[in-house]
Structure 1
């Protein structure tokens, strides 16, 4: 079998963003869980620097405080310059028909801004995923097509997901999407960052891979992210109405990489929101460190819930948005702690000594700066 291709099943990330918006009751039960710790650390008042946004799932900010915001639910890329009126740099209303995830992967370097456009069919499967770039002069050009690469290479095709080790009789009792399947052909370039040599790194949420696009547009796989997994308990089986024959078996999940950033050590850091349908089970989101040269991957933190984005300071401190816990979490010297409580934090960036966070993304989205 394969991953369910129903629209509901495929809306792994955006279903949580725009529909559920809550933490599963059984979340926070594995890994470096920090849900029991009190919110602490940041005690100031965030300052709103952009508001009335439609689904600001990804954005970037320059050292001078200029914001480039992808308004995913209306397919608009907007520039916010301090002291000036907002300017829409790109708009495509057709992207609003893709389930709220049409314009993502926003990043800026040297005045040029990069973003991703994902278009899907009626079943929710991608048929076009273009990476585009707007030059300083305003010219817009396609730089790569990650779906075309996925069709040819499908980096996670060797991975098996689903509930493993079941008998044929037990398998026959499973609803669609839970039986074992191998990595399917799908793409959603959710997060991007630009390296010092001009390469664009892409966290492809549905390809389950970290990709590199060089300056000539050639795509290669840096790494396939590790699967997430947990052992099914009686309580979990009962919560989904599953036959007791699944108890004690492992459920393996697609990792769902959502963002990528470059650390001061030159390594790539990636957040994951594992594909889990229905939206229940333990908190299995993580942060991984990946070598851009070898693809060697090491887990930095786990037990995160809805880790949609990360930002790294010059000293190596990592901030992660935990969407389903309504907070920003701090990772410093291997210690994971809650940092700031916010409503629906979906994206985070660090620039000019400040942390910027996109919040309230299912209603009137805004970006706040921590002074």
Structure 2
């Protein structure tokens, strides 16, 4: 995930009580953990969202590479030129491995940060929705169409469903002053609720919003500012509903992304409470078919490293038990950003969320819900 301020990533479901059944499950876990991952999609430019459809196809969004239309952004180093254009993509991979671009969407290149395009993916009925891009009121031009918005995408292109930036500009739920870049939005995390509404984890606004996909109306579910010990910037990244029907949100934490600051919170009645803590740089949380929640850790941040301070091959997938206990089930991932599951418990992980153009990919980890803790 990329973003337009320090509040985001860059400033760049019981087992039977039978002994025999337990032994069989244990053997299955061992075999699953030893199965090599399989490449599903490649050639992506900063993959951010991944979704497995009922027909077995895999959908993925990427950040794109910006574009030819320029604007001026003002950051800590003073004015600098950004740009945007329709270079972000929604890609579909059929069960036979055929990879094709469904549509292109806006990619906003923010100086000092990089390009930001498509976010997470949600489906209601036959409609596919994505979060799209970053925008800040301090940019020198008005918000382009389909940026800082929720989009409906399909073979005929992408249509704007909800203007999240307009709601942020009118309400500023995290209370960060406009002159400090507070009118800023990045509708990154996205899920479909049991009520037929869309729920948005906004990494820029530090809030969860509800979107009516029929009318486009936006409402505030909860402000999540100030929950990670990194100032107002908690940076919501993933959002999902648990088996208990509650809403769960992953928090990246604000820069400099201290180890242990990231967490998953439970949102109820407009307030958030800790569910699982002590993690680092969370970029997603999703419910697996086993009923457990799975969090994605992007890795670690090392300001002393020089060059790229985001440590390579330090990402992981963490199983969260019903009481919030944590089990790392997959490690050594390179900049993972999101996870999705098929009904068999296979996990599809978007990796290389930063890196050279075309280096992004989606990998399939067979039976990950059966992996034993590392």
Q: TM-score if structure 1 supplies the norm length?
A: 0.71
Equivalent residue of 1:309, what SS?
strand
Q: Of residues 334, 337, 351 in structure 2, which corresponds to 1:359? A: 351
Q: Which stretches in structure 2 are left out of the alignment for 5+ residues?
A: 13-31, 66-87, 300-313, 367-374
Given that residues 14 and 101 in structure 1 are in contact (C-alpha distance below 8 angstroms), is that contact kept between their aligned partners in structure 2? no
Q: Which stretches in structure 1 are left out of the alignment for 5+ residues?
A: 1-6, 20-40, 161-180, 231-250
Deviation at 1:14, TM superposition (A): 4.3
Q: Does 1:252 align with 2:231?
A: yes
Q: Distance in 1 between matches of 2:236 and 2:228?
A: 15
Change over 3 Å in CA distance of 1:11–1:155 after alignment to 2: closer
Given that residues 290 and 297 in structure 1 are in contact (C-alpha distance below 8 angstroms), is that contact kept between their aligned partners in structure 2? yes
* Residue aligning to 2:316: 327
Change over 3 Å in CA distance of 1:50–1:146 after alignment to 2: same
Equivalent residue of 1:15, what SS?
coil
Equivalent residue of 2:116, what SS?
coil
Q: Does 1:104 align with 2:133?
A: no
Equivalent residue of 1:10, what SS?
coil
Deviation at 1:84, TM superposition (A): 5.2
Equivalent residue of 1:100, what SS?
strand
Deviation at 1:80, TM superposition (A): 1.0
Q: Of residues 28, 36, 44 in structure 2, which corresponds to 1:45? A: 36
* Residue aligning to 1:295: 270
Structure 1 residues 207-259: Cα deviation after superposition (integer angstroms, max 9, x where no partner):
110000113211111111152355xxxxxxxxxxxxxxxxxxxx634111001
Alignment RMSD: 2.9
Q: Number of aligned pairs? A: 295
Q: Does 1:133 align with 2:152?
A: yes
* Residue aligning to 1:286: 263
- Pairing of 1:76-87 with structure 2 (within 5 A): 76-83=89-96, 85-87=98-100
By relative contact order (CA 8 Å, sep 6+), the higher-ranking structure is 1
Equivalent residue of 2:361, what SS?
strand
Q: TM-score if structure 2 supplies the norm length?
A: 0.71
Change over 3 Å in CA distance of 1:369–1:207 after alignment to 2: same
Q: Does 1:149 align with 2:167?
A: yes
* Residue aligning to 1:88: 101
* Residue aligning to 1:205: 203
